[in-house]
Structure 1
Amino acid sequence: LATYYSMLDQPRSVVRGKDSMQGTYLGPEFSSNDIRSKLTDLGASFTELNANEIIEKTASALADGLAIGWMSGRMEFGPRSLGGRSIIADPRSTTMQKNLNLKVKFRESFRPFAPSILREDLESWFNLDCDSPYMLLVADVAETKKLSVKDESEGIEKLKIPRSIIPAVTHVDGSARVQTVHEDTNPKYHALISRFKEITDCPVLVNTSFNVRGEPVVCTPEDAFRCFMGTDLDILVIDNFFLVKSEQDKKLSKSYKDKYELD
C-alpha cells in the first residue's frame, strides 16, 4: 500500500469518522451446509436454529453465567478477536476472570480480559468518547459503574476485590481495553449484546480470543470444536449451530491443560 500510494502516486480517499476497514472481517466464513457436514463428521451433537433463536438462546446462556465459544461469519484480521472468533461471557461475574483463565485459557489467573460494548452505550460505561472498534484503546470505567473500594491488599490479592459492576473486565487500576461494537460492521454480534442488555441491563460482554494459550485463534469449525472439547467452555456457537458441552460424547474430549508450559 505504501508503494501504491506514495511511490506510484495513486489517489487515496480517506473518510474521517468512518471505519473504512469495516471491522476487518477479512478471513474465511463457512456455509451452513459446510458447518453441518463438518460437525457431523466430527461426531458432534448440535441443534440448528434460525437467526433469532440463536441470539435468544446464546444471550440467555450468557446471562446464566455460561462461558461460550462464539464463531460467527468471517474471521477477523489483526491482533484482536472482535466477535468473529471470540470467547464471550458475562462481565458482571466476580469469578469469570479467574475461571476463564484457569479453565479455558489455561494461563495465570491474573490475566485481564477486555469488554465488548455497544457503541451507543459507550459513554455511559467508560470514560471514552470515540470509536474503538479494534480493542486498542484503554479507558477508565465510568465513575457511576465503579464500586467504593478500600483496598489494603497487596499483589495478586488485589484481583479478588471487585472494582466495578463489571469486575471481569475491570483492571486493578479501574481501566479496561475497550472494543466498541457497531451494528453496521458486525450486526450479529451487536444483536447478541443488545439482547443480553435487554435481559441484564448490561450492554457489555467479556471478549477474549477463541483459543488456548500456545495455539492460534480458531479459524474453521473443526478448530472451534476441538478447542471447545479441550477446555471447560460450556457452549459452542458456530453461526446458527448451538452445541452444549454436556451433550457431547466424552470420548471426543481432548486435554489441552498440560500441552504447553506457562508463559
Structure 2
Amino acid sequence: MSKRTLRGVALLAMLTLACSGGPLLPKGSPEEQLARARYYLDDGDGTKALEAYRLLSQTLQGTEHEEESRLGMARAHRESGDYFAAVQEYEGFQRRFPRSPLVGDAVLEIAETYVEQRAKPEYDDDWNEKAIRQYEDFLAGYPRHPRLEEGRAGLLNARNHAALKELKNGITYIKLRRFRAARFYFDIVIDRWAGTDVVPEAHYESGRTFELQKNWEEAASHYRTLAEEYPDSPFAEKARERLARMEESS
C-alpha cells in the first residue's frame, strides 16, 4: 500500500471518529464538550473524564476554556485515584495560570487530595500534615474565596485527625500505667491542637491520670476546666461526676 493510500485511510478514520463523537475530533461547541467531560467526572468515571479533558486541553488551548479543561484533567486524575498525577496537574495549573480565578480551587483541591491519601489516626501520617499546611495556605491566600467554608471545615477535620492520633497515643500509655508519658500526648492535644473536638477528652484523660496517682488537685483542675470551658461535651458530665465524688471523699 502506497504512502498516499495510507494517508487517505488515516484521514478517513479521523473523519469517521469525528462523526461518531470519537476522541480525536470531539463533537459540539466547547461548552458542550466541557459539559460532556463534567458529566463523566460527576458520574465517577475518571477514565472517560480524563480522556475527554486531556483532548480538550489540546483542542481548547489558547481559548477561554483552556483553564477549565486543564483543571478538569487534575480532577479526573484524582477521581481515578492517581493522586500523584493529580497534584502535578494542580501545581502545573497554578504555574500556568497564576491569575486565574480557579487557582484557589486548585490549592484547596490539593489539600483534599492529601486527605484522601492519609492513614488512620493511630499511624504516623505525613499526608495529613501536608493537608493541614495546604488548607492553611488556602485560607491565608484566598480569604474571599466562595469555597472558604469548605476550606475551614477541611482544616478542622485534618486538625481533629492529628489530635486524635495524639489522644490515642496517650490512652495507650494509660493502659501501660505510664501516666506521665500519657500526659505528654494529652498536653500536645490541648496546646498544639487547641480548638479541635478532641480537646475535652484530652482534659478528661489527663484528669484521670492525676486521679490514678492520687494527685487530687491537678485532677480537679482538669475536670473543672473541662466542665467550665466545654459544658456541652459528653465528657463534661463525667468530669462533674468525678469532681462530686472527689469532694464527697475529701
| Structure with the larger strand share | 1
Larger radius of gyration: 2
| Structure with the larger helix share | 2
TM-score normalised by the chain length of structure 2? 0.22
Q: Which has the higher contact order (CA 8 A, sep 6+)?
A: 1
